[in-house]
Every structure is written in structure tokens, then in C-alpha cells.
Amino acid sequence: MTVHWSTVPQTKITPGGAFDPQPRRHIHWVDVEAGPLVFRFFDRAGHRAFTAELARAVQVARSVLLPADDKALALDRRR
């Protein structure tokens, strides 16, 4: 998936919830809107896993796309 924003998108965080009659429980979630994308998190583990994957994708993109001098600076800052 590729998402390209030429400017920073408007963001919004919306808590939500609904009653699920099957297991008879109330389910809570948080919608994070970032421009045209909406991410729905049901728990902290899902949020942590998503942000870890996003951070990994950024690191891979930096290692592939940055010029050699900038790459060395980016790797230096991570330590």
C-alpha cells in the first residue's frame, strides 16, 4: 500500500463503542482518522503492533531512499 501526502493531513481521534448482543458485551474502540485513512483500534496491543510496523516501514524507507550521507546521519540519531 502506498499513501502519499504532499501536505500533512487533518487528523481526528474519535472514541466509539457498541453493544454486541451475541456475547452480550459492550465493545469499545478508537478511530484515528488521518486524511483519507481511518484506523480502528480495539486494544493497546493492536495500537502498539501498528505503530511498531509503521516505525519499521519508515526505517526501511529511509535506508532505501536516503542518500548515503543522510543515511549515516539517520542511523546515528537512532542510537
What would the pLDDT profile of 17-56 be if each residue is shown by its tens digit?
A: 888 888 777 888 888 887 788 888 888 888 899 889 888 8
Confidence of residue 70 (pLDDT cuts 50, 70, 90): low
Top-confidence residue, 10 or 70: 10
Q: Given this model, what pLDDT does residue 59 score? A: 82
Residues 3, 11 contacting (CB under 8 angstroms) = no
pTM comes to 0.52
Give the model's pLDDT for residue 7.
Answer: 74
- In this structure, which amino acid lies at residue 18? A
In the chain, where the domains are located: 10-42, 43-79
Residue 2 pLDDT > 60, yes or no? yes
